[in-house]
Amino acid sequence: MCGIIGYSGKVNGIPLILKGIKGLEYRGYDSFGIAFVDSNHLFVKKNAGKIDEIIEEFDMNSLKSNMGIAHTRWATHGKSIYKNAHPFMDCNENFAVVHNGIIENYMEIKKNLKGHKFKSETDSEVLVHMMEDYTREGLSLLQATKRILSEITGSSAFAFISLRDNKIIAAKNGSPLVFGIGKESFYISSDVPSLIDYTNRFIFMADGDIVQFSSKSYKIENVFKRVRHRIETINADGVRYEIGNFQHFMEKEIFDQFKIWESYKNLDLTIFEKVLVVLKEARRVYIIGSGSSYYASLYGAHIFRKAGLDALAIEPQELSDYVKILKKGDVFFIVSQSGETYDIISILKDLKDNAKIGLVNVMHSSLSRSVDIVIPMNAGTERAVAATKSMTTTVLTFIIVYSMLINDRTYKDIELLLNGRFNIYVPSVEKLVNRVSEMLSKTREIFIVARNEDYPLALEGALKLKEVSYINANAIDMATLKHGPLALITSESLVMAIVSPSNEKEASNNLEEIKSRGGYIIGISTNNMPEFSTYIRTVDAGIFYPLPIIFLFQLLSYKTAIRKGIDPDKPRNLAKSVTVK
């Protein structure tokens, strides 16, 4: 879960490399480094810490080079310290490498690399010493890269800068990598947005692709299979993304949702009609997602079952438990914001005979190119680590499919949602959200309770409080309270309750059980209830009722993080796109 970028061209590439790597910081922010050629020498500048601080430490804005590679890291092997920061150089300082992924057999490779001095604890460093050995044996840069690609196992994307050849060579197998083509300039990156200010022409690299380029030309080929490499032109306006007047990207992305929901008013249902045909012919529908996508999938499976489908939400790692009972008529509805989630991509090989529907936010991603039907989330770029607009867009999509399954192609209540969206966060609600976020900032533990279809919303709310504000938040299905969790409730317990209109009667009894044991209950509902100690009103949005609730939890998590002095865009130990095991 690291970000890599590279440039070779006619002008000084350092400024664009630095700007581009900042655009990849969501992929990892433990450390940062750059390798570049200047005056026939290869230089590496790197350290652990934030990109801006390291740029200032080395006065990188004053550097000049026509060729360089850079890396921002999310640690897998080795602590977040200087010696484990990328790039890594070979013993003779002729090559430097940056790497995204995991080399599963690196220990075996390391044992076979004789006479080398390793300076890090990482798996990635073996790559540069392999290149050193293989070119010493007489292999060309391309031949050596092919050999490396054939010998390492696991998911990887990597790039070498070669002083000897005055070239950059990069390869992809499992982890994302794109190649950008500019005017007298060429680029590599882990994603398109980091390069969109410099080019809108890209080749989306396939597994097994190797691209070799200098300032004059490039050559790309695949070592595994025959691939037609097409140059695709990307609409820059749809990719370019600025923070505007907001303090953090998470805050911007929370409020972006109002505009996104508005865009669904006149939705083109062509893709949805195709999806409907596939779902209605399915023996069983497996909905697969990780993290927030999984909790959205739980909600989707619930309403699909209400519509008469045999639907089941599972996390990708669970698929191995189902492989022996899968049938050809089973359909897979696969959800991934990035379209590059390793757990998701790695299961596709087991689903060759099954129809696959992808709900993806990043078009041209690995998932979008591997499914039979793609539903674009159209949530726009999401830079903060926590899923916000992609989460509500996923739930919204499931509700539209549900509406069509029950023969409602107008997906009624969309007007109710759109008319009510500006009433979700009025001054009175803002005051309560601020008050509750202050309470949350002083607690280490909270329980979030809900029933039936509200329970996935409780799971998502708990996840947001965990990942953004570092609170031990536990979601509990109210139906299970008497089967153990009630033992945790004391007079010091803080409890949040999600109660939709259809669950009020059953929830009332459960909340009374909590209140009688001294629990302080913060209710999120369209209606106030006697059991609530504090009540945050949410708007009536009909079948779209989950969206305002999810919005409020996102906002509570964000405001709590700010009160605790936490950067909500970059929570500790997490990265946006999970491209490793």
Catalytic residues: 2, 576
Which of the 8 DSSP states describes residue 487? Answer: G
For the four alpha carbons of 412, 413, 415 and 417, in that order, the dihedral sign comes to: negative
**Beta strand extents in 92-144 (DSSP E only):** 95-101
Cα–Cα distances (Å) from 16 to 67, 186, 415, in that order, read 11, 12, 44
Beta bridge partners of residue 160, listed in sequence order: 97, 169
- For residues 539 and 255, give the distance between their C-alpha atoms in angstroms, rounded to a whole number: 16
Please give the structure tokens belonging to residue 112.
């076979």
CB 458 within 8 A of CB 449: yes
Cα–Cα distances (Å) from 246 to 236, 250, 389, 424, in that order, read 22, 9, 16, 19
What values do phi and psi take at 254, rounded to 5?
-65, -45
- For residues 323 and 321, give the distance between their C-alpha atoms in angstroms, rounded to a whole number: 6
> 54's torsion region: left (phi>0), alpha (psi -120 to 50) or beta?
alpha
Helix, strand, coil in percent for the chain, rounding step 5: 40, 25, 40
Closest to 534 in 3D by CA, of 548, 523, 525, 519: 523
- For residues 233 and 236, give the distance between their C-alpha atoms in angstroms, rounded to a whole number: 9
- For residues 380 and 241, give the distance between their C-alpha atoms in angstroms, rounded to a whole number: 8
State the residue for tokens 């002095």.
565
Which of the 8 DSSP states describes residue 350? Answer: G
Tally: H helices and E strands in the chain: 15, 24
- For residues 122 and 242, give the distance between their C-alpha atoms in angstroms, rounded to a whole number: 34
User: Taking the CB of residue 429, how many other CB atoms lie within 10 A of it?
Assistant: 18
